[in-house]
């Protein structure tokens, strides 16, 4: 797969403004039980400078065609696998934010579900050349999805700090897709997600799950400037899901999201 190495280091830059409307709409999308009293919710940067391709440059799944910013990969089933976020400063309403995105790695692997390709992208969010947030995003492209593609994780015991229950309605998915201009059909086209990508139903966005965990930590006054998370299984809509944050046996602060069957769909670690 050496022909993909030429894509590593490719960059794209875009700008956006943190408007009062964007802040208000994100606040009113996130369940109020998860919010602190801070002016701008955590995760606002995930709504900035989305990947907006022409309607003529979209794949069947609603994403931008491969071969524009990302290479023409052999696998087409895309999911957000996780990421690492480093927070250096606070965002402010009304500021213009420049987003620099760089392809940092492309790795091919073979998993239980078949062939995989992991694409790592670094996003830097700057205000007047001052770095506010650095985000390393990992997307996985799968050859296929089978019933055995995702194994539930065993829950480690936590000393709980907070727990919240949320209902994953189609309206929640619509609102977050609109905020992030996310056209991926797994979030709004039930026939597509079942018949073409093999899921059980519409999926709750991984960055939305991360946004919930970020805000739940701030609400509980947990001090952190590094947040690393991994999506471990799809989270299907029209069910209750559960946010948990607590301390593990190693005194680490852990956040996780569980589906209605109490299977972990995302796990995260907070660090200072």
Give the tens place of pLDDT for each residue, 219-247: 999 999 999 999 999 999 999 999 999 99
Residue 201 above 60 pLDDT? yes
Digit-coded pLDDT (tens) for 97-156? 999 999 999 999 987 778 899 999 999 999 999 999 999 999 999 987 765 556 566 667
Residue 163 above 70 pLDDT? yes
Digit-coded pLDDT (tens) for 11-59? 999 999 999 999 999 999 998 899 999 999 999 999 999 999 999 999 9
Q: How confident is the model at residue 263 (pLDDT cuts 50, 70, 90)?
A: very high
CA–CA distance, 85 with 255 (Å, rounded to integer): 14
Mean per-residue pLDDT over the chain, rounded: 93
pLDDT on residue 76: 86
Strand intervals (E) in the chain: 11-17, 77-87, 96-111, 114-127, 130-142, 159-167, 226-231, 240-247, 253-258, 264-271
Q: Is the pTM of this model over 0.75?
A: yes
CB neighbours of residue 205 within 10 Å: 22
Query: Using alpha carbons only, what angle is made at residue 243 by residues 140 and 23, rounded to the nearest 5 degrees?
Result: 80
CA–CA distance, 122 with 139 (Å, rounded to integer): 11
CATH of domain 2-271: 3.10.129.10
pLDDT on residue 153: 65
Distance between alpha carbon 98 and the CA centroid of its chain, in Å?
Answer: 19
178-200 mean pLDDT? 95
Tell me which residue has tokens 């900035």.
Answer: 48
pLDDT on residue 270: 98
Percent of the chain clearing pLDDT 90 (strictly above): 85
pLDDT on residue 149: 56
pLDDT on residue 36: 92
Q: How confident is the model at residue 265 (pLDDT cuts 50, 70, 90)?
A: very high
String of b and e for 226-241 (b: at least 16 CB within 10 Å)? ebebbbbbbbbbeeeb
Contacts 24+ apart (CB under 8 A), 149-154: 149/112, 149/113, 149/198, 150/113, 150/232, 150/233, 150/234, 151/112, 151/233, 152/232, 152/233, 152/261, 152/263, 152/264, 153/232, 153/233, 153/263, 153/264, 153/267
CA–CA distance, 120 with 102 (Å, rounded to integer): 9
Terminal alpha carbon distance of the chain: 38
Distance between alpha carbon 145 and the CA centroid of its chain, in Å?
Answer: 19
């Amino acid at each position: 797969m050496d022909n993909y190495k030429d894509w590593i280091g490719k960059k794209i830059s875009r700008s956006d403004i943190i408007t009062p409307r964007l802040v208000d709409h994100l606040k009113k999308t996130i369940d109020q039980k998860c919010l602190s009293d801070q002016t701008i919710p955590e995760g606002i940067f995930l709504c900035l400078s989305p990947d907006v391709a022409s309607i003529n440059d979209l794949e069947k799944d609603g994403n931008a065609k491969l071969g524009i910013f990302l290479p023409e990969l052999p696998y087409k089933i895309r999911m957000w696998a996780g990421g690492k976020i480093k927070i250096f400063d606070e965002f402010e309403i009304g500021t213009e934010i420049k987003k620099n995105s760089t392809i940092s790695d492309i790795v091919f692997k073979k998993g239980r579900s078949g062939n995989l390709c992991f694409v790592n992208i670094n996003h830097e969010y700057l205000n007047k050349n001052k770095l506010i947030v650095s985000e390393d995003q990992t997307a996985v492209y799968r050859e296929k999805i089978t019933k055995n593609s995702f194994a539930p994780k065993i829950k480690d015991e936590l000393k709980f700090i907070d727990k919240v229950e949320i209902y994953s309605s189609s309206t929640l998915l619509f609102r977050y897709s609109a905020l992030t201009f996310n056209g991926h059909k797994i979030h709004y086209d039930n026939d597509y997600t079942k018949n073409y990508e093999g899921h059980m139903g519409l999926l709750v966005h991984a960055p939305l799950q991360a946004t919930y965990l970020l805000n739940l930590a701030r609400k509980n006054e947990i001090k952190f400037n590094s947040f690393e998370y991994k999506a471990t299984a799809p989270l299907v809509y029209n069910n209750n899901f559960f946010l948990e944050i607590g301390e593990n046996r190693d005194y680490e602060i852990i956040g996780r999201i569980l589906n209605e069957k109490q299977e972990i769909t995302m796990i995260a670690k907070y660090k200072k």
